[in-house]
Chain A
């Protein structure tokens, strides 16, 4: 067992521990934070596979943006634990069925011939840039699927905005262009005032 194997088992153990934490913690905020930990350690495993672009993008996109917004929402929830656990036995057979299916899939994939001992991951030198290769492939061989995925995301984004954008009648909003165009003279009037000599000099005039 060399150094890389030890690192792999450490990351793998953390990932499994964090994944267990996601489904066993009672508080959704803790569960979300466990998911963050699981993402970080899986990024570490990907790094061991020399997939540095995917590893860093996993941290950048999922940990840095998606989970932040998740936490943002989850933290504002008012959670009633009793109500959450109400239908446990009713939904248990359904959940168990899905879990069984996933276990079967995992065994099917992991036991496949492609991942037998005779095939090893290809290793590259230190000057090999994973990012450059990925970019070249995405924009040449896979340019149509890539563009299609981009269009799909754009449609989803436009749809999400269209669904949440509501124009209520009588809504008061600020006109930014008016605010920006305001001059000092519109807001402040400088008045020249004689300084009073006696206490009643201003009232006499």
Chain B
């Protein structure tokens, strides 16, 4: 037995986040750890990774007591942690990132200096282990997300780990890149390294792991071998109830075209993109990371410029577009990066929710704000999104959970009464309960006359919600499927093989 946890408890203030966790991990074993947001996954991993100590309970590594007081202490004991947010310094080279804390040194007139030759050799060796063949002197800022992830893993391997913890490693990877990562994980498993794999993507978990552990409300509700699980049972254990009708249906009455995009081109990003969206239609965009989907909607919304092509909004040719005009036209845009582009984290819920619709609550030359009206309207929408909160005007939005934060961002856009809602990865990193509520909100909006353009990396989600799925690859649209044609493997294949254009 490599790692053993006995009755581990952790409290923050009065809140008990972990209520006595007991489990063990063997050499060369991959454990999938799943649970809704707030179930205690991160807390548990932070305990293992040495970010903070447990309140009670014992941990053993190789039979010895294991109580790391820092990430470095954990690393030196052989526990490496690959965070969802990579811990790399883009301004330094790959090699420097690999050795940031223990540069090989040599003496030079009694002065210890970095040994650049040894570093290069060692770095190449480590990069080789993860299948990277690039120059270690390249700066990390020049790398795209997938190789960055591999550099992070190489860094972990440099410390000869016995256990590697992966926290949502595939969120910024394409399907193909994720597949390569899985191969690497299996290779490491063969070398006897044990791994804990945390993910919301249950398909991946089932494909990859040996055993599954499910956390709910700080308790380990079930841990068993993989073969005793399927998606349905996993979901059921995670939320503690059956999830019937995961994708609720909606009334179908698709109307006239509201948005027509023709030959839209932004050099270096997208090329000759042509599609349309009808009233009360949900159109999904699927493709690899970097296929140009986010770039395309940013151009549509007016955040980035386009070079040629035309955008027709409700029969009118648009020659100029920016966020202010878009909001006036009734277009709303929920971005992928919630913290950096969606929220004002150090402000209260009210200020966050009212921001985009402020124009509705002002009057006169000085744009005086009607606070009472603003508060009533926000309250209404926040109630509609089923956000759990304590106080609209006192509580900072940063104190909400990820799912509730996303609902606030959604409420912000719903307050602008959008006719077209653009959603970029709206359920990224959100637990299943909140996901389902967001799906319900989307359906509600569409039934009330709006249209939705939705980007997602989860194909199931698109297939469950959309009337049409458009696939993009390398900045171009390569295929389009109507609901009747939805078939998982076909869509995946088109997304992966760029040249099989059906359109």
Partners in one complex: no
